Amino acid sequence: MAQIEVGILGATGMVGQQFIALLATHPWFTVTWLGASQRSEGKAYRDAAAWRLPTPAPEDVSKLVVNQAAPGKAPKLVFSGLDSGVAGEIEGAFANAGHFVISNSKNYRMDAIVPLMIPEVNADHLKLLDAQAAARGWKGRIVTNPNCSTIVLSMALAPLRQFGLETVMVTTLQAISGAGYPGVPSWDILGNVIPFIDGEEEKIESETQKILGTFAGGAVVPHPVVVSATTTRVPVHDGHTESVSVKLAQNVTPEALIDAFNSFRGRPQELKLPSAPPQPLVYLTERNRPQPALDVNRGGGMTVTVGRLRSCPVLDYKFIALGHNTIRGAAGAAILNAELMHREGIL
């Protein structure tokens, strides 16, 4: 199969690096173009990026020169890990110029004609792309993936929709890699918990409804679930842990819930997409799991682990969910979106 050339916007950042690492051995996509800020422009990637991942940067990408983040010479398919302060304008310019942009940034997520995708949960939301072309007049398209905490939560909630998901209370314990690099100062985070992440709670509360919503009449009808989120930053490298309580319309046994988690599958598993974990949600029975140090890399970082299901005296049930914030929560999620779009004939 001929390789598809891809570009990476924000290639030097935390998410950009994860794109490069994940695409190094990808069976369909090859990185041939990198874009970042003026700080990096014109430098070889190895000199521009402060590489933070445990696997070495791939030799061929290290030699590429970082470009201005402007359309023109980039391949048609572009992954974006741009800072949200600039992503709106730059991603819009790329879509206007005919690129297919798969974005991690918040800027277009809640736009009514932009899919906010988790392929296992809402693959049919790609149908919004027809309306996008008509409304914006872009020659290209924009597809987004959710906020990193929202992805973990929405994946864990998706199999519970069948039981009448009504109310969710979630408290997150989010890793420092979620704040980019260099991110949170060590003085602030070492031996500490920071009970505030700017804008994060609002994202979780609104994005979850769009993701779990249904596609009907050419638009996404948000799911009626009410979500209340509290977000905290903790001194963990990778992996967002979430304490979740849910209220369900139906009476369900714990065994039925665990079975719903473990048997949950979606379009990526059906199509056997390269980045799709065979089992997207895994329920762990040990009473002290999941833990970021032990479970974050399950399924190549694409599996969300769930555990500690027990009854909740306030709502109905409570449990813990964990996912890798820069893989399932960012770069891996975007790559899975592109794989789905390719197999569905959209690219």
Which one, 75 or 183, has the nearer CB to ligand NAP?
183
Q: Which residue among 26, 148, 324, 342 is the active-site one? A: 148
Structure tokens at 292: 């970021």
> How many residues are recorded in the chain?
347
Q: Select the residue interacting with ligand NAP from 67, 104, 144, 275 (CB under 6 A).
A: 104
Q: How far is the C-alpha of 137 from the C-alpha of 141, rounded, in Å?
A: 10
Place of tokens 């820069």: 326
- The least CB distance from residue 39 to ligand NAP, in Å, is 4
Q: How far is the C-alpha of 116 from the C-alpha of 110, rounded, in Å?
A: 7
**Active-site annotation holds for 148:** yes
Q: Which residue among 99, 223, 240, 324 is the active-site one? A: 240
- The least CB distance from residue 69 to ligand NAP, in Å, is 4
280 binds ligand NAP (CB under 6 A): no
Place of tokens 């741009």: 82
**Binding residues among 309-328 for ligand NAP as defined by CB under 6 A:** 325-326
From the list 145, 98, 150, the residue with the least C-alpha distance to 125 is 145
x/- track of binding to ligand NAP for residues 179-198 (CB under 6 A): -xx-----------------
- The least CB distance from residue 10 to ligand NAP, in Å, is 3
Q: How far is the C-alpha of 8 from the C-alpha of 144, rounded, in Å?
A: 14
Bond before 278 cis per omega within 30 degrees: no
Which one, 102 or 309, has the nearer CB to ligand NAP?
102
Q: Is the dihedral of CA 103, 105, 111, 115 positive or negative?
A: positive
- The least CB distance from residue 310 to ligand NAP, in Å, is 29
| Residues pairing with 170 in the sheet | 229, 244
From the list 114, 214, 203, the residue with the least C-alpha distance to 153 is 203
Which one, 245 or 303, has the nearer CB to ligand NAP?
303
Q: Which helix (H) or strand (E) holds 250?
A: none
**Binding residues among 12-71 for ligand NAP as defined by CB under 6 A:** 12-16, 36-37, 39-40, 69
Return the amino acid letter for 211. Answer: I
10 binds ligand NAP (CB under 6 A): yes
- The least CB distance from residue 106 to ligand NAP, in Å, is 6
The contact set with ligand NAP (CB under 6 A) reads 10-16, 36-37, 39-40, 69, 81-84, 86-87, 104-105, 148, 177-178, 180-181, 325-326, 329-330
Active-site residues: which are they? 148, 240
